Amino acid sequence: MSSSFPGPTAKRATILDVAAAAGVSRQTVTRAMNDMPGIKQETRERVQELARELGYTPSRYAKGLVQGARTSVGLAIPDLTNPYFPAFASSVVEMATLRGWNVVVDDFGHGSGSSLDAVERLSPQVDAVIGYLGPHAAEAQALLGRRPVVVLDEPSALTAGGISFDYPFAARLALERLAEIGRRRLAYLDAGPAWQLSARGAAVGRAADDLGIDLTVAHAEDSAEGARDAVGAMLAAYPGVDGLLVFNDLMAAGALKALAAGGRSVPGDCAVIGMDGIPLGMLLTPELTTLSLDLRDVGRAAVDLLDGLLTGALPPRSAGTHLTLRHELVIRASA
């Protein structure tokens, strides 16, 4: 079976590679890729198709740079207003800068389209992409051709590399903690529409079944405000809830607000556990117990993985190109 990925010594396709494959001059490739006059339409389409197959796109950076210019990496982020993503992005930038790489960030979560749109915007500028790309990860890899994509939190994506998280392990840690401190009427607040559990939510549901826990599940938009409103409604419908696991720490902040507004003490009346381990959790009252990721480790792992893919030390989709990281339960005052 043929592969669109390069071998260990392959490099990013150049304009000369496209010219050689098409049997035309470099000038003809330039005209074709920039929709300039002076060539036949048939030639233009053939050159553009070969460029797509080879993963070549004209780089705006390359026009003014001498040979040996620094590697440029695209970072596709869904929401920089969520404190998790700036912390992750900061780690990627730090680790990439240590290698002398440029990082170009695209925040696609505010009316600017999907993750695939972000990759399309980044494509002319970068040698590779790291990002939270969701269901568009495989399309993003196809768009970049031989240039590697490292996707976060999408374990089944057909990308050059990826980093996933062991949600079943995290879910069990949290539910066992709530049971250990005597909580019997547990609930989970998921992010997204009521008709679809997230990967985290599915893992929590399976862990609850395995532990024999009757779990109430509620849904909210991925925001503190959405969580506040959803938890308020949940408490009205299920006033006996005494333990709550929340999709992430930002939503957990909204959950604490709703519990306080409803006259419920935390952890006395209801214990609360978040997920992700962002610094916000230590600023809440009470301080938030959380399933924590070391985001510096996540960023380091993503950049290390990409380094291996770019140098050819790791062939795409080979052993070692898809990593699974685990959360740690950090116990604070809320549970």
Give 271's strand partners.
243
H or E element: which one contains 190? strand 186-191
Domain co-membership, 85 together with 227:
no
H or E element: which one contains 324? strand 322-325
Per-residue pLDDT 10s for the chain (335 aa) are 334 444 333 456 778 888 899 998 877 887 788 777 778 898 999 988 998 888 887 654 444 333 345 789 999 999 888 899 999 999 999 999 999 999 999 999 876 578 999 999 999 889 999 999 999 999 999 999 889 999 999 998 899 999 999 999 999 999 999 999 999 999 999 999 989 999 999 999 999 999 999 999 999 999 999 999 999 999 999 999 999 999 999 999 999 999 999 999 999 999 999 999 999 999 999 999 999 999 999 999 999 999 999 999 999 999 899 999 999 999 999 99
DSSP string computed for 210-274: HHT--EEEEEE-SSHHHHHHHHHHHHHH-TT--EEEESSHHHHHHHHHHHHHTT--TTTT-EEEE
Rounded to an integer, what distance in angstroms lies between the CA atom of residue 75 and that of residue 86?
A: 11
Predicted local distance difference test score (pLDDT) of residue 38: 76
Strand, coil or helix: what is 279?
A: helix
Q: Which two tokens stand for residue 138?
A: 């495989």
Taking the CA atoms of residue 152, residue 153, residue 155 and residue 156 in that order, the dihedral angle to the nearest 10 degrees is: -90
With beta carbons less than 8 A apart as the criterion, state whether 275 and 170 touch. yes
Rounded to an integer, what distance in angstroms lies between the CA atom of residue 11 and that of residue 6?
A: 7
Domain co-membership, 130 together with 50:
no
140 by Cβ neighbours in 10 Å (0-12 / 13-18 / 19+) ranks as: buried
Domain co-membership, 200 together with 268:
yes
Whether 199 is in a domain gets the answer yes
Whether 272 is in a domain gets the answer yes
Predicted local distance difference test score (pLDDT) of residue 75: 97
Whether 333 is in a domain gets the answer no
- What is the reported pTM? 0.79
Whether 227 is in a domain gets the answer yes
CATH number at residue 87: 3.40.50.2300
Containing domain of residue 132, as a range? Answer: 70-165+295-327
Give residue-wise pLDDT tens across range 40-50.
898 999 988 99
- Looking at residue 86, its amino acid is P
Domain total of the chain: 3
Domain co-membership, 258 together with 212:
yes
Taking the CA atoms of residue 220, residue 222, residue 228 and residue 234 in that order, the dihedral angle to the nearest 10 degrees is: 20
Give the chain's end-to-end CA distance (angstroms, integer). 52
